[in-house]
Amino acid sequence: MTIAGLKAQYALRGPVPQDVIEPIAFEPTAPGPGQVLVAVLAAPINPSDVLMLTGGYGILPQLPAVGGSEGVGRIVAVGDGVSHLSAGQTVLLPTGSGTWATHLVADAKRFVPLPPGADAQQLSMLTVNPATALLMLSEFVPLQPGDWVIQNVANSGVGGYLTQLARLRGLRTVNIVRREAAAAAVKADGGDVVLVDGDDLAVRVKDAIAGAPIRLGIDAVGGKATNRLATCVAEGGTVINYGLMSGEPCVVSPQSFVFNDLTLRGFWLAKWFRTAPREAQQALYGELTRLIATGQLKARVHATYPVERIKDAIAAAAAGERDGKILVVPAH
């Protein structure tokens, strides 16, 4: 059986991410022993994926490379010796396997079976953003139901998951956005308080939650936004940074850092993977898969694009003013 495939490939990096990537025709190979051939159903475009195209991410694949770090597919064929997977089964694609393609082949042991009948587009976003949100909520500060958490860029992919996960755990959230138009979507995710960022943020936060202490802040911006978040956190609290959307280093004033005994930590999911026991990884993704498959956890999808329109998809993902994730959805 001959299959006509397409893959979004780049052979160089540059400042305009959509300029370096092209849809390339290829013929998927039959799976060898211990391998599986999968038809990709959906694969998101994450900020980290765009940074790989520009050269700004912490880990860069060798070139030429196929873009895409996560996704969901349906098994087309299995190679000799594969007994735990079968044709027609929906699976989570291996992390970093080049998922912006119509098809891919990889070792069968790298695929994770998913519940039948669940939303493939929602499950395609499972690996990166919800895991990042859940770990930042659980790994740094012991929180109890009723506690407050504050985050900026609350309308982002991670931010939306964090708001929903916090609500499921009985936590309350202060959600900071950069424009008023983003507030409605955050409230729809279950955000308790939604405010637009600004120099008087600490005063407005204190008024909104009647002076309740906030022990955990989550920052994706860096620059002076880190300090604005830090001024909202209680004495001895923790701020976690997981992104630098401003392009600037985190700034924290002596008032917050020294006199308020602030702890500033960084989080990178790739590093967590390198050190976390396999049992912890299985528990994390078991919980997230259940929540997504049952509809308790979901993300907004702004638009979908076939592989043929990968340039348009990257341009849309790199632009601001979006209300949700951009997905690559191959036209099979």
For 243-264, write each residue's pLDDT tens digit.
888 889 999 998 888 888 999 9
pLDDT bin (cut points 50, 70, 90) of residue 1 is: low
Residues 113 and 15 in one domain: yes
For 122-180, write each residue's pLDDT tens digit.
999 999 999 999 999 999 999 999 999 999 999 999 999 999 999 999 999 999 999 88
Q: How far apart are CA 193 and CA 226, in angstroms?
A: 19
Percent of the chain at pLDDT > 90 equals 83
Q: Does position 270 have pLDDT exceeding 80, yes or no?
A: yes
Q: How far apart are CA 131 and CA 55, in angstroms?
A: 24
The residue from 10, 57, 242, 305 that is catalytic is: 57
Looking at 270, 291, 308, the residue that finishes a domain is 270
CATH number at residue 184: 3.40.50.720
Other CB atoms within 10 A of residue 73 CB: 30
Q: Does position 62 have pLDDT exceeding 70, yes or no?
A: yes
Residues 71 and 166 in one domain: no
**Is residue 213, in this structure, part of any structural domain at all?**
yes
Nearest to 146 by CA among 170, 166, 165, 128: 170
Q: How far apart are CA 45 and CA 319, in angstroms?
A: 12
Q: Report how many domains make up the chain.
A: 2
Concerning whether 242 is annotated as a catalytic residue, the answer is: no
- β 172-177/193-196 pair status: parallel
Q: Which residue range forms the structural domain that includes residue 233?
A: 132-270
